[in-house]
Structures are given as structure tokens and as C-alpha cells.
Amino acid sequence: MTNNLMIFTIFCYIICILTITLSDALAGDPLLYNNRKPTDYFVNHESQILELRNKLLKHHTVGVTGITGKGKSEMVRKYTSMHQNDYEIIASFDTQVDLIPQYINLAKDINSMICLKEGCSLSLSPKDVKSDLMNFLFQKTKWLLIFDNVQLNQNYKIKDIINWKHNSHIIITSQDTKFMSNIVKTPYLNNEDAMILVKKIIPDISDTVVQQIVDKCQGYPYLINRVATFISNYKHKTVYEVIAFIERDNNPVRSYTELLLQSISPTSKELLLKIALLNNQGVSRNILNHISTNKNTLPEDIHELVMLGALEQIS
């Protein structure tokens, strides 16, 4: 009887520990809005991520700047994945589309996941939602807002956010530094890191060919990723044919785009051009169903564009 009692006591103790541990883990999960994981191919930028962290702790609002294709968004996604447990709310906004609906969706999440416990309620009115959100967040200290993809000469659209005095963290990815006093510049990849990136995407390839790809892509992480993905999945052209095509123009992004458009099927090309006209990084499958005139080939078209690096399918 004594042994049985001891076993039962130990069992109950273990259950209590597991319950407490599980509760702590669940309590520590942040509210994530529009959060995306960094690509598996992300390399380098460790020093910039550390700089970003230190500047956020000191200044609260930091701009991550650089021209298109240098990896601004990926760097921020990597930072978020590394420091996710430091925040209770992480929200990412696409600045190329209307922010108000995005604010409303975040407010809905806060109402259902946080305000339900705290007894608050954020307005879902387009007129009031932004001020309600800002007032709510001003009282908090463990949140991260990301304003992604601000284009050149467009910082004025979020000037009030840039100048907002608050108690937590805001990251803005922008091609421009206007109005921003605290910035982290995204670098081009150096030769060694660019080679590592190519080998992650195409493992069985000679160093000579890797170096040729790296030389033609001129340190752009985005372009290196796309060209290597294209070479890895498109079997109708050799590596040397791809490189020769890119060499025809001193603008590697433009020449790669021309190569891609020449290589994909007509229905995939039509779909890609329509997506480009939407000027939005996050397009739903439902929208593609509406805009596509080739609904029967839509699954194949999406697959082809994803495999060749023209689209990123996140869900």
C-alpha cells in the first residue's frame, strides 16, 4: 500500500509539473498577425540583426533600408523568429495596400484573444480603429509592429507612425530613409555568403558554376535565390544557358525577369502579369480564382510559378 501511495504521489507530482509547464508555454505564445517565417535559404545579416535589436531597445522605432532585392523583409522575418518570445503581440502590415482593413483585423484579434481577458474593447470602425489601437498599445510594453515594403518616396504615408513616441518596438522596411533617424542598412551579400546561398538551393553543383551565378547576380539575395531556384527546377535550359542569358544585359534583375517570362507557359505568364498589376505581396487563392481566365490550369500555373521562384506560396 505504501509503495502504491508513493507511486500515485509521484504520478500526481509529474502531472502537476507538466500542467504548469504547458500552461506557461501557452501563456507565452504571442498574438501573431500576418506573420511569415523567414525563408530556409536566409544567410548572413547576423551583424545587422544584432544592430537592429540594439537600436530597437534604445530607440524603439527603427528603419531597415535598402533597394529592392537586398533582403529587408527577410531580415526582419529572421529577427522576428529569433525574438518571438520577447513579445505578446507581433503584427506585420503591408504598406502597399490600405492599412485600415489591416488595423481592423488586428483589432479583431486583440478583442478576441486579449480584451476578452482584460475587459477592454477596441473599435472596429474605420474612423476610430487606428487611434484605438495606438491608445491600447501605448499602455503596453511587449509588442512589435512591422510596416513592410514602403516604396521609394513613400515614407510620408506613415510619417505619424515614424514619429510616434511609444513604449515598445516598431520596424519599418523602406527603400527610403526620409524622416527616419534610426536606420539599419541591408548590405549586398559578400562572395562567400552568396556561394553558401546558392549551394543551399542547388547542393550538387560545382564551385565554378556557383561562382558564375554569384558573379552575375551581383550580391542581390533576392536575385540569387530566384536564379538558383530557376536553375534547380527548370530542366529545359542548362546552367550555362541561364548564365549566358543573364549576361546579355547589365541589369541582372531585368534579364532574369525576361528569361522567366520566356520560359513559363502562356497561362502562367498571364497569371503572373495580373498578380503584378495588383501590386500586393499577399494575394489570396480566392482572388486568383476571380482574376484568372484559365481556371482549369490555375493549380498548374501556381505550381510552375512557385517552382521557378516567381511566387512564394505561404499557405
Domain-embedded: residue 21: no
Angle made by CA atoms 92, 93, 98, in degrees to the nearest 5? 165
Q: Do 159 and 178 belong to one domain?
A: yes
Q: Which residue has the higher pLDDT, 104 or 74?
A: 104
Neighbours of 217 (CB within 10 A): 27
Residue 314 has pLDDT above 90, yes or no: no
Domain-embedded: residue 16: no
Q: Do 139 and 166 belong to one domain?
A: yes
Q: Do 143 and 161 belong to one domain?
A: yes
| CATH number assigned to the domain comprising residue 175 | 3.40.50.300
Q: Which three cell numbers stand for residue 169?
A: 518596438
Last residue of a domain, one of 185, 212, 244: 185
Q: Do 236 and 123 belong to one domain?
A: no
pLDDT above 70: percentage of residues in the chain: 87
Q: Do 55 and 159 belong to one domain?
A: yes
Q: pLDDT per residue over 219-230, tens digit each?
A: 888 788 888 888
Cβ proximity of 53 and 210 under 8 Å:
no
Domain-embedded: residue 275: yes
Q: Which three cell numbers stand for residue 201?
A: 538551393
Query: Which region among 168-182, 192-206, 300-314 has the lowest average model confidence (pLDDT)?
Result: 300-314
Domain-embedded: residue 77: yes
Domain-embedded: residue 6: no
**Phi-psi domain of 279 (left: phi exceeds 0; alpha: psi -120 through 50; beta: other):** left
Residue 25 has pLDDT above 50, yes or no: no
Domain total for the chain?
Answer: 3
Label residue 243 by pLDDT band (50, 70, 90): confident
Query: Which region among 119-123, 129-133, 157-161, 303-307 has the lowest average model confidence (pLDDT)?
Result: 303-307
Residue 262 has pLDDT above 60, yes or no: yes
Q: pLDDT per residue over 82-92, tens digit each?
A: 999 999 999 99
Last residue of a domain, one of 170, 185, 200: 185
What pLDDT score was predicted for residue 103?
A: 96
What pLDDT score was predicted for residue 82?
A: 93
Q: Do 303 and 243 belong to one domain?
A: no
Query: Which region among 17-31, 213-227, 255-269 has the lowest average model confidence (pLDDT)?
Result: 17-31
Last residue of a domain, one of 185, 219, 243: 185
- Nearest of 223, 158, 240 to residue 189 by alpha carbon: 223
Q: Do 240 and 270 belong to one domain?
A: no
Q: Do 177 and 195 belong to one domain?
A: no
What pLDDT score was predicted for residue 8?
A: 42
Domain-embedded: residue 242: yes
Q: Do 254 and 305 belong to one domain?
A: no
Domain-embedded: residue 215: yes
- Nearest of 158, 118, 163 to residue 136 by alpha carbon: 118
Query: Which region among 48-62, 98-112, 259-273 has the lowest average model confidence (pLDDT)?
Result: 259-273
| Nearby residues of 125 by Cβ (< 8 Å), 6 or more positions away | none
Q: Do 285 and 269 belong to one domain?
A: yes
Domain-embedded: residue 7: no
Angle between helices 191-201 and 221-233 (to 10 degrees): 30
Q: Do 161 and 219 belong to one domain?
A: no
Q: Do 85 and 142 belong to one domain?
A: yes
| CATH number assigned to the domain comprising residue 250 | 1.10.8
Cβ proximity of 30 and 133 under 8 Å:
no
Range of the domain at 146: 30-185
The residues with which 183 forms a beta bridge, in sequence order, are 63
